[in-house]
Amino acid sequence: MEVFIHLYGPEDDFSGAGAMFLAPFPAGMILGWVVGLPRWWLIAVAAPFVNMAIIVLGLRGLTVPELMELGSLPGSLMFAAIGAGGHIAATAMLGQVDRTLRLSVIGALVVGFAGMSWNTDAIREAARAQRLAHSGIPLIGLGSQQYRPVHLAEWFGEWEAGPPSIELSYARLRDRAEIQLYVMPGTVGVPQTACSEPLPDVANRRDVSGSCRQVSTDVWVRTESAGTRVFAKHENALVQVASDRVSEADLLLILPTLRRTTAEELAAIGEI
């Protein structure tokens, strides 16, 4: 039911959340009556609350959109398992069943969804990899052994202003000075224009002025009071490398180390 509402229901969050909360009650009553469950009306009322407990406690904050980003089939199967588990648990607790069977069913569900809870990070990482793979942004990372990745931020989606981008933060091993690598589709602009009005929008500090100059073909440097930014083309991507502590010379040395990477490798950065 939640999957159907997510895919075809109201687009605004308030209406969608209300529909997801209320829809399982009549659906459960109809299903319980058709199947002929004992105390079907009581089970239909209790089961959605059991489902909510499974989602909140078992999935530890994973949302419907995150689960559906795994793909329609895996996301649908996961919600089907949650729905079935909730109704089976409610039937075992409230239905007229043997006590041993009741305890066995509840115990099996607790073990199963405890295992799901332990794997929420892997589920979240897989969803992030799917988002990155279908974002239309070239997947590029830093190949230098002098830096380690510390954070990944996604700046794409219907609520984001400006061109889609990803932001990769790296820390230099010798002094922990951080750099930010912004990657955008190459179609959003050229280094010269990106330098004069810094792209992406999330990196543009409009209250900070700077001066731009070209240092080589398709490589521009913007010098600001707060730091330095380097804009360049890399294959089919427009990139910005920025830092308030790393020198211009060291930022320029980073460009040759940029390399193609995978969605899975980038998604793992978010968990470091």
Per-residue pLDDT band for 265 (boundaries 50, 70, 90) equals very high
Q: pTM to 2 decimals?
A: 0.71
Per-residue pLDDT band for 237 (boundaries 50, 70, 90) equals very high
Instruction: Report the alpha-carbon distance of residue 9 to residue 219 in Å, rounded.
Output: 47
Instruction: Report the alpha-carbon distance of residue 137 to residue 155 in Å, rounded.
Output: 10
Bridge partners of residue 170, in order along the sequence? 149, 179
Encoded amino acid at 242, one letter: A
Mean pLDDT of the chain: 81
List of residues 6+ apart from 168 with CB closer than 8 A? 141, 142, 149, 151, 152, 180, 181, 182, 183, 266, 269
Cα within 13 Å of Cα(128), Cβ side: 22
pLDDT at 178: 96
Instruction: Report the alpha-carbon distance of residue 3 to residue 217 in Å, rounded.
Output: 50
List of residues 6+ apart from 132 with CB closer than 8 A? 139, 154, 166, 263, 266, 267
Residue 271 pLDDT > 90: no
Per-residue pLDDT band for 172 (boundaries 50, 70, 90) equals very high
Percent of the chain with pLDDT over 70: 81
In the chain, domain spans: 2-118, 136-269
Per-residue pLDDT band for 22 (boundaries 50, 70, 90) equals low
* 3-state SS class at 27: helix
Candidates 240, 238, 244; CA nearest to 230 is 240
102 token code pair:
């009741």
pLDDT at 127: 84
Cα within 13 Å of Cα(58), Cβ side: 21
Percent of the chain with pLDDT over 90: 38
Residue 103 pLDDT > 90: no
pLDDT at 179: 97
Strands 210-216 and 219-224: antiparallel
Number of neighbouring beta carbons within 10 Å of residue 240 = 24
- In this structure, the chain runs to a length of 272
- Domain 136-269 class, CATH top level: alpha beta
